[in-house]
Amino acid sequence: MMELMLTLAVAGVLLGIGVPSFREFQKNGRLTGAANDSLMAVLAARNEALRRQEVVSFCPSADPAATNPTCVTSGATGFISFVDKNTSCQREALEDVVASASVHSLVRWQSNTTCISFGPNGFRNVVAGQPTTSHAIFCDDRGNALLGLGQLIEAAAAYQLATDIWRALNPPHAAIEPLAGLARVALAQGEIAAALAHCEEVLAFLESGGTLDGLSEPLRVMLTCYQVLRAASDPRAADVLETAYTTLQQQAAKITDEVMRRSFLEHVPYHREIVAAWATAQAGDVDRNSGRF
């Protein structure tokens, strides 16, 4: 019996070590797979341009596996390479797709351009309005996952690394989500001033004309700033919450199916939190107006 207990204890320790390592392995595998798939699609575009003696372009797509996929500037779930008859870097209905790949839903892709085009000679084809591609970054949600597990130090390190990478590459809006993540960690640690400093960067970006379009979870960013401002007793919290709630309701209104619309509002955690925060704020206004304190 003692030997069995020792064996079970050792097995439990090994399992505790192995499960996190396996999870990291899975996450790293997803990122590597996405990078490799995109590279293969780019190479396919170049090879087909040489073989067909035509312009072939590569672009992100929201529906790479569809019968008639299109190029997008945000919300991509994968990539397509296609014969670009009019060299527009936008796939038209009759242009052949020569390669496609889907990216795991937990992987986010970001580049400084939305198209790579190759001419019949295999060299890059210059397209008006498209900058030269200098980088493509693949990242995942491990910062959010670590925060959800209560591993605040590890989560902060993941968010900080992402922030540093995006700032070095200089796509201004891309650092917004990890900045919001740093604010959530600081708020969870009770460091209100630090959380507020991170949110001030987000708010300054928005006030300068920046947009959250193209981010994976823009409403989560807005919710985070509301929560931080509220914790700091900052009067701007009300405006941020109103913007978040209005944006959420506008998105929900576009969903015609009532069940799916309700699911969108109630089953996405930060959507549910926005609705609850708005209801609480409205109830508070009613109480104040009626003289109840």
State residue 78's pLDDT score: 85
One fold for both 2-136 and 141-289? Answer: no
State residue 3's pLDDT score: 39
Phi-psi region of 87 (alpha: psi -120 to 50; beta: other; left: phi over 0): left
State residue 172's pLDDT score: 66
Tens of pLDDT, residues 67-91:
888 888 767 788 889 999 888 888 9
- For 29, half-sphere exposure in the C-beta direction (CA atoms, 13 angstrom radius) is 6
State residue 16's pLDDT score: 45
Residue 4's pLDDT band, with cuts at 50, 70 and 90, is very low
Amino acid at 100: S
| CA proximity to 45, closest of 135, 111, 124, 113 | 124
Q: What is the CATH number of domain 2-136?
A: 3.55.40
State residue 11's pLDDT score: 43
Q: How far lies 275's CA from each of 222, 247, 262, in Å?
A: 13, 11, 12
Tens of pLDDT, residues 241-252:
999 999 999 999
State residue 28's pLDDT score: 66
Least-confidence region, from 11-25, 111-125, 139-153: 11-25
First and final C-alpha spacing in the chain? 64
State residue 22's pLDDT score: 56
Q: Are strands 136-139 and 108-111 parallel, antiparallel or unpaired?
A: antiparallel
State residue 70's pLDDT score: 87
Token reading at 11? 């097995």
Sign of CA dihedral 29, 32, 35, 36: negative
State residue 246's pLDDT score: 95
% of the chain surpassing 90 pLDDT:
31
> Average of pLDDT values for 42-64?
89
pTM above 0.75, yes or no: no
Q: Which of 16-20, 33-37, 231-235 has the highest mean pLDDT?
A: 231-235
Residue 170's pLDDT band, with cuts at 50, 70 and 90, is low
For 127, residues 6+ apart whose C-beta sits below 8 A from its C-beta are 57, 87, 88, 89, 115, 117
Instruction: Look at residue 174 and tell me whether its pLDDT is greater than 50.
Output: yes
Asked if 225 and 176 touch (Cβ cutoff 8 Å), the reply is: no
State residue 92's pLDDT score: 87
State residue 135's pLDDT score: 66
Token reading at 277? 């925060």
Report the mean per-residue pLDDT for the chain.
81
Question: Domain ranges in the chain?
Answer: 2-136, 141-289
Q: Each residue of 17-26: b (16+ CB within 10 Å) or e?
A: eeeeeeeeee
Least-confidence region, from 27-31, 124-128, 277-281: 27-31
Which class is 141-289 in CATH?
mainly alpha
Tens of pLDDT, residues 88-117:
888 988 899 988 888 877 777 666 677 888
Q: DSSP letter string over 191-202?
A: -HHHHHHHHHHH
Residue 185's pLDDT band, with cuts at 50, 70 and 90, is very high
Tens of pLDDT, residues 186-238:
999 999 999 999 999 999 999 998 888 777 788 999 999 999 999 999 999 99
